[in-house]
Amino acid sequence: MTVDEMRALLGLDSDVSDAEVMAAYDAWLASQPVPSPAASPATFKLRYPAFSAVASETITYWLTDALRVVTADWGSDADPAQMALAAHNMVLAGVPGIATGSVGKLPDGVTKFRSADVDVSISETAANRLVAGGYGATRYGLEFQTMLRRNAGGPFLVGCA
């Protein structure tokens, strides 16, 4: 990366010296979250085979994005939660390559499919889940939500004596 690219990335003016830009870039780079080695694209694909056709670079991006929510404070839930949140976000973003079902199996929520004039029925539970949105919109989000409640739930009391 050139100094000018670093300057643009950090939003620094052209009057900032190259040495200052490089120092600021090094500090910024050190502050960026790094995905856990356990939450690698290979491990992710083992945990969620539906994502086996998704590019590893794409998975790495979403794993890193999940670190904005999941921290090391989550202990043994950190890696599974990071992967579940990444999977949930990829489904919502419509990332190409995600398998939605397998041969002979109807996609989640579809209770009936007729071919001639196309007659599809969706279960009320699945429809309500999709309408509600949030983490309930995908099975990965539901998995993440369980870990979120376990690690980040509860009220915060401020100013109590």
Which of 70, 86, 60, 74 has its CA nearest to residue 141?
Answer: 86
| Model confidence at 133: pLDDT above 50 | yes
| Model confidence at 104: pLDDT above 50 | no
Q: Could you tell me if 23 and 50 lie in one domain?
A: no
Query: Does residue 159 lie in a domain region?
Result: no
Classify burial at 130, counting beta carbons within 10 Å of its beta carbon; exposed 0-12, middle 13-18, buried 19 or more: middle
| Model confidence at 59: pLDDT above 80 | yes
Q: What is the mean pLDDT of the chain?
A: 82
Q: Could you tell me if 86 and 107 lie in one domain?
A: yes
Q: Which residue has the higher pLDDT, 44 or 101?
A: 44
Q: Which residues of 98-110 are buried (b: 16+ CB within 10 A; e: fewer)?
A: beeeeeeeeeeee
Q: Could you tell me if 51 and 19 lie in one domain?
A: no
Query: Does residue 160 lie in a domain region?
Result: no
Radius of gyration of the chain (CA): 21
Which contacts (CB < 8 Å, 24+ apart) does range 2-8 have? none
Q: Could you tell me if 13 and 71 lie in one domain?
A: no
Q: Could you tell me if 147 and 85 lie in one domain?
A: yes
Query: Does residue 161 lie in a domain region?
Result: no
Hey, is 126 helix, strand or coil? helix
Query: Does residue 39 lie in a domain region?
Result: yes
Confidence of residue 83 (pLDDT cuts 50, 70, 90): very high
Q: Could you tell me if 5 and 72 lie in one domain?
A: no
- Note the pLDDT of residue 128: 63
Task: Spell out the residues 6+ positions from residue 65 whose beta carbon is closer than 8 angstroms to its own.
Answer: 86, 89
pTM: 0.61
Query: Does residue 158 lie in a domain region?
Result: no
Q: Could you tell me if 23 and 51 lie in one domain?
A: no
Q: Residue 104 belongs to what domain range? A: 35-151
- Note the pLDDT of residue 115: 61
- Note the pLDDT of residue 40: 93
Section 66-89 average pLDDT: 93
Q: Could you tell me if 124 and 102 lie in one domain?
A: yes
Q: Which residue has the higher pLDDT, 70 or 104?
A: 70
Query: Does residue 117 lie in a domain region?
Result: yes
Cα–Cα distance, 60 to 42 (Å, whole number)? 10
